[in-house]
Amino acid sequence: MLNPNVKLNKKMFNESIEQIAIRRGFGEGLVIAGDEDKNVVGLCADLNESTKMNLFAEKYPERFVQIGVAEQNLAAVASGMAAMGKVPFISSYAMFSPGRNWEQIRTTVAYNNQPVKIIGSHAGVSVGPDGGTHQAIEDIAIMRVIPNMIVLSPCDSIEAKKATIAAAKIDKPVYIRLMREKTPVITTEETPFEIGKAEIYFAPPMEPQVGIVATGALVHKAILVAQKFAEKGVSVKVLNISSIRPLDFEAIISLAKESGAIVSVEEHQVVGGLGSAIAEVLVQNHPVPMELIGVHDQFGQSGTPNELIEHYNMGVSHIEKAVERVMKRKN
């Protein structure tokens, strides 16, 4: 019961589903954006290869600036370039950008309303062995509170490519969060992507009893959970939110009305991120019981991505239990 209208990868439930890093999608998307618009420029804080900006830097060296390990400078320099008509993409790890340079972004990019695109790679705990200092699990919270800022969280490498191309075209500040690890490619080139629009990815024919609202690489797990429930005769719908700001209020409220219960899923603190954004919408329009999957008030640590996802209660079994809990709360 994958939604046929959004043309997802038919191998969704195969073990052999393609696995490509979300950050790679950005790298490819930036080259395409650069091909299409000569004003697209790239700036990086000494992390070309791991943020995949190296692809752009190699093709367009005259349009690339190496800033070195100086993320505050990274953001403000980009703002200056935008003031002269460029479309700057800045990349680093999310913990450093927007982590370290949040105020530079707020003042020189958002307050100035300059179309700088901030790429925060290595978000979530699935960064893995580097450990907690490198695992950004607060970035959605700190970026979605800034006026003028668009916040995108692609679910796979193909969506990341589309998000990058869309970001280049829109004359506004944009933040895109990327992941380090290879994760399932769940969409296809034909899957729609639009800033501000959320899409139903999984929809059984019966009225849903629970709606899962998910973002990023965990959307795949949400779909696996929905499939498990479908096999038991319980209808669970999955909504992919790749545009956290602006948020598709209609889609969220509609899902809450249909299902009467919501589970949010994100590789991020449960405070301040997607779950909070959903709760804000529903509490003001159509309150329903909610369960929030994410990190519960802890920092990350070293481990394999899978170990960490499980340890921080964001795995398939945890999402399943959340669905069961929220169903009970409906009465």
Partner 1 sequence: MPQLTDEKIIWMEQKASEIRQSVIEMLVEAGSGHTAGPLGMADIFTVLYFHILKHDPTNPMWEDRDRLILSNGHICPVLYATMAHSGYFKLDELKTLRKFGSRLQGHPHREFLPFVETSSGPLGLGLSQTIGMCLADKMDNGKYSGKQFYCLMSDGELQEGNIWEAMMLAAKEKLQNLTVIIDRNSIQIEGFTEDIMPLEPLKEKWESFNWDVRTIDGHNFQEIVSAVGEAQAVFTKPSIIIANTIPGKGVSFMERNYKWHGKPPTKEEGEKALKELKGN
- Choose one: 61-69, 167-175, 177-185, 187-195; the region binding partner 1 (CB under 8 A): 61-69
Q: Which of 44, 47, 53, 67 binds partner 1 (CB under 8 A)?
A: 67
Q: Is 33 in the site for partner 1 (CB under 8 A)?
A: no
* Window 162-221: residues binding partner 1 (CB under 8 A): none
Smallest separation (angstroms) from partner 1 to the CB of 188: 36
- Residue closer to partner 1 by CB (options 70, 253) is 70
CA distance 283 to 318: 24
Q: Is 72 in the site for partner 1 (CB under 8 A)?
A: yes
Q: Is 65 in the site for partner 1 (CB under 8 A)?
A: yes
User: CB–CB of 274/241 below 8 Å?
Assistant: yes
Q: Is 44 in the site for partner 1 (CB under 8 A)?
A: no
Neighbour-count burial of 263, counting CB atoms closer than 10 A to its CB (0-12 exposed, 13-18 middle, 19+ buried): buried
Amino acid identity, residue 154?
P
DSSP 97-153: TTTTTHHHIIIIIIITT---EEEEESBSGGG-TT-GGG-BSSHHHHHHTSTT-EEE-
Tokens 């692809």 identify what position?
Answer: 55
Q: Which of 48, 104, 240, 243 binds partner 1 (CB under 8 A)?
A: 104
User: Which residue in 265, 263, 312, 292 sits closest to 135, CA to CA?
Assistant: 312
- Residue closer to partner 1 by CB (options 76, 282) is 76
Q: Which of 4, 16, 85, 190 binds partner 1 (CB under 8 A)?
A: 85
Q: Is 91 in the site for partner 1 (CB under 8 A)?
A: no
- Helix axis angle for 316-329 and 218-231, nearest 10°, is 60
**Residues of the shown chain interacting with partner 1 in the complex, contacts defined by CB under 8 A:** 41, 62-63, 65, 67-68, 70, 72-73, 75-86, 88, 103-104, 107-108, 111-113
